[in-house]
Amino acid sequence: MFISNSARAQFETSRDSVVQLYGIVMTADSLVGIPAVSITVKGQNRGTITNASGVFSIVVLKGDEVEFTHVTYKPKSVTIPRNLEGNQYSMVQLMVIDTVYLPVTIIRARPTPEQFARDFVNVKVPDDDIEIARRNTSAANRRVWMRTIPVDGSEATKFQFNKIANRAVYQGQIPPMNIFNPAAWGQFIEAWKRGDFKNK
């Protein structure tokens, strides 16, 4: 296989620009490894996180800007040197705790027990997860979703396989009709009472 000199030179240049970046992220005051620090390459959808000891490893390019972010620490940015010799770069990144000041909250008691009782009785308590799940999975909601939500891939595949199996079972003969099936008539009457056939 013939490869031109320009293509070979371009490949060597691209391979030389790839850097294996590895190191550890630590607190600046006590030098303790910080877990779950997000490490991303700026302008790209690539990144990683530190492990439980604060250690990380990621592949970058020379000249890339790497950002270190954590919810409780001030973000840091590091640029990989373009004139770096070799394809490995190790580092120890220190991060400083970011103090967040919340607005002042003043808690006052109710002036009288009567007012407290009135407010306590009239306060609207939000539904808990069980009540929300019970409301979302009611019979009426399930019937609406059954008619409006399209089937997913698994249901469509199962439907097609059932059609193929029915054709194979009744090959060469007429499939049975449910018009004389009492159970089918019972299901039809129940569906009619529920209003499944009403035009929306």
pLDDT tens-digit readout, 29-73 = 999 999 999 999 998 888 999 999 999 999 999 999 999 999 899
Three-state secondary-structure class, residue 45: coil
Is 144 inside a domain boundary? Answer: yes
Mean local confidence (pLDDT), 131-148: 84
Same domain, yes or no, for 118 and 185? yes
| pTM (2 d.p.) | 0.47
Confidence of residue 150 (pLDDT cuts 50, 70, 90): confident
pLDDT tens-digit map of 78-128: 999 989 888 899 999 999 998 878 888 888 888 888 888 888 888 888 888
Residue ending a domain, among 35, 67, 95, is 95
Is 106 inside a domain boundary? Answer: no
Cα–Cα distance for residue pair 45/52, rounded to 1 Å: 23
Task: Read off the CATH number of the domain in which 34 is found.
Answer: 2.60.40.1120
Picking from 20, 24, 88, the residue whose alpha carbon sits closest to that of residue 55 is 24
pLDDT at res. 184: 78
Confidence of residue 14 (pLDDT cuts 50, 70, 90): low
User: Is the pLDDT at 144 greater than 50, yes or no?
Assistant: yes
Confidence of residue 11 (pLDDT cuts 50, 70, 90): very low
User: Is the pLDDT at 12 greater than 60, yes or no?
Assistant: no
pLDDT at res. 27: 94
User: Is the pLDDT at 200 greater than 80, yes or no?
Assistant: no
User: Is the pLDDT at 156 greater than 90, yes or no?
Assistant: no
Same domain, yes or no, for 179 and 124? yes
Range(s) of the domain holding residue 145 = 113-194
Percentage with pLDDT > 70 across the chain: 90
Same domain, yes or no, for 84 and 132? no
Same domain, yes or no, for 90 and 118? no
Strands 18-27 and 55-61, bridge-based pairing: antiparallel
Question: What is the number of domains present in the chain?
Answer: 2
Q: Whole-number mean pLDDT of the chain? A: 84
**Selected residue with higher pLDDT from 166 and 58:** 58
Mean local confidence (pLDDT), 141-148: 82
Looking only at Cα atoms, what is the longest distance across the chain?
Answer: 93
Number of H helices, E strands in the chain: 6, 7
Same domain, yes or no, for 181 and 141? yes
User: Is the pLDDT at 15 greater than 90, yes or no?
Assistant: no
pLDDT at res. 35: 95
Same domain, yes or no, for 28 and 58? yes
Cα–Cα distance for residue pair 184/194, rounded to 1 Å: 15
Is 102 inside a domain boundary? Answer: no
pLDDT at res. 95: 95
